[in-house]
C-alpha cells in the first residue's frame, strides 16, 4: 500500500472521492435508485492520485466502458435479426447503435481540456497500484469485442489481455465467428443478390478481403435508392456506424497527442505512430468504394 497521503475518504479500505457518499441503507431506496443501483454506482470511483482531473477521467472512462458493452449488445442483437431475415428490425437496432456511438464520442468533449500535467499524476497513481504497465481503453476486453464485431481481426492488441485468460479465450473464440458485415452479406445473398460464395464461406478468423462483386451490389443499391430502399437504409446506417467508430479512434488519437504525446506506450512503440494507421481501418469497405462508382 502506498504511503503517499491523498485527500480521499475511505470505505472498507478503498479510497473514494472526498465527501463522496458511501453506500446507503439498502432499505432506503427509491424505485429510481433501486432500479439503477445508484447506491452502488456512486461508490465505484476510487481515485489513485491527488490530481483534480482524475474524477473526470475515471467517470468518463467508466461511461465509455458501459457504452462499449451496450454497442456490443446491440450489434449482436442485430446479427440475430439479420440471420432471421428481419431487415427492418435489424436496421432499427443498428440505428440505435449509431446513436450510442455518437453519445460515446461525446464523452471526449468532457476530457478535451486535459493536458500532460493533468494526466501525469493519474498515470503514476495507476502504475503505483496496478504495476508499471500501459494503461489504455485498448486494454478493454469489451472494446476489443466491439472491434471484432466490426471486422477487426488484428491480434496485436490481445497481448495486453494476457492477464485475463478467460476474456482472452473468449475474444479468440469471437475471432472465429461472423462479423456484423458477414451477416449483412449473408442477408443480401438470401435475398437474391450476387454475393460470391468465397465471401460467404470464408475463414472468419482471417481479415475480410473486399470483393468487386460485393462493391457492384452496393453500387446497384446506391444507384437506385428508391428501388432498393430497405438495403439503401441499411447501407447508410452501416456507414453511420463506420464513421462514428472511426471518429472514436480519431478522438482517442488526439486525446493521446494532448495528454501523452508520442512517447513509448503501446507495446513498446510510440503511441501516436502506433495508433495513426488504425484510422485507415474503416469497417464495411465496399460501402465506401461503391460510392465512387455511382453515376
Ramachandran angles phi, psi of 56, nearest 5°? -65, -40
In this prediction, residues 199-224 reach a mean pLDDT of 96
C-alpha cell belonging to residue 43: 461508490
pLDDT for 20: 57
Q: CATH assignment of 51-293?
A: 1.20.58.480
C-alpha cell belonging to residue 166: 478467460
Ramachandran angles phi, psi of 247, nearest 5°? -65, -40
- Alpha-carbon distance 196 to 29, whole Å? 57
* Domains in the chain: boundaries: 1-46, 51-293
Residues 248-294 have pLDDT tens digits of 999 999 988 888 887 776 666 777 887 888 888 999 999 999 999 99
Residues 61-92 have pLDDT tens digits of 999 999 999 999 999 999 999 999 999 999 99
Q: CB of 121 within 8 A of CB of 50?
A: yes
**Which residues have CB under 8 Å from 287's CB, separation 6+?**
218, 235, 238, 239, 242
pLDDT for 22: 59
- Alpha-carbon distance 178 to 151, whole Å? 9
C-alpha cell belonging to residue 61: 472512462
C-alpha cell belonging to residue 218: 452496393
pLDDT of residue 141 exceeding 60, the answer is yes
Residues 14-60 have pLDDT tens digits of 455 545 555 566 678 888 988 989 888 988 999 999 889 999 999 99
**Which residues have CB under 8 Å from 150's CB, separation 6+?**
75, 179, 180, 181, 241, 242, 245, 283
Amino acid at each position: 500500500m502506498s504511503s503517499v497521503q491523498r485527500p480521499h475518504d475511505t470505505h472498507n479500505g478503498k479510497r473514494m472521492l472526498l465527501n463522496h457518499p458511501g453506500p446507503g441503507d439498502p432499505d432506503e431506496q427509491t424505485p429510481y435508485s433501486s432500479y439503477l443501483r445508484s447506491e452502488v454506482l456512486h461508490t465505484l470511483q476510487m481515485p489513485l492520485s491527488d490530481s483534480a482531473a482524475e474524477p473526470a477521467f475515471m467517470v468518463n472512462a467508466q461511461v465509455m466502458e458501459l457504452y462499449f458493452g451496450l454497442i456490443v449488445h446491440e450489434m449482436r442483437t442485430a446479427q440475430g435479426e439479420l440471420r432471421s431475415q428481419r431487415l427492418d428490425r435489424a436496421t432499427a437496432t443498428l440505428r440505435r447503435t449509431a446513436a450510442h456511438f455518437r453519445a460515446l464520442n461525446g464523452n471526449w468533449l468532457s476530457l478535451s481540456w486535459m493536458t500532460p500535467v493533468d494526466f501525469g499524476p493519474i498515470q503514476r497513481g495507476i502504475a503505483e497500484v496496478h504495476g508499471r504497465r500501459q494503461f489504455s481503453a485498448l486494454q478493454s476486453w469489451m472494446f476489443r469485442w466491439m472491434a471484432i464485431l466490426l471486422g477487426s481481426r488484428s491480434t496485436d492488441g490481445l497481448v495486453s489481455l494476457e492477464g485475463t485468460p478467460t476474456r482472452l479465450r473468449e475474444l479468440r473464440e469471437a475471432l472465429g465467428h461472423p462479423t456484423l458485415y458477414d451477416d449483412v452479406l449473408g442477408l443480401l445473398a438470401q435475398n437474391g443478390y450476387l454475393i460470391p460464395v468465397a465471401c460467404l464461406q470464408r475463414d472468419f478468423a482471417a481479415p475480410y478481403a473486399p470483393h468487386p462483386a460485393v462493391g457492384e451490389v452496393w453500387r446497384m443499391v446506391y444507384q437506385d435508392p428508391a428501388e432498393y430502399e430497405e438495403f439503401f437504409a441499411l447501407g447508410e446506417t452501416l456507414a453511420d456506424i463506420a464513421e462514428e467508430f472511426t471518429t472514436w479512434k480519431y478522438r482517442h488519437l488526439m486525446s493521446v497527442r494532448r495528454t501523452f504525446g508520442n512517447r513509448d506506450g503501446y507495446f513498446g512503440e510510440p503511441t501516436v505512430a502506433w495508433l495513426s494507421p488504425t484510422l485507415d481501418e474503416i469497417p464495411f469497405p465496399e460501402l465506401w468504394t461503391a460510392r465512387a462508382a455511382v453515376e
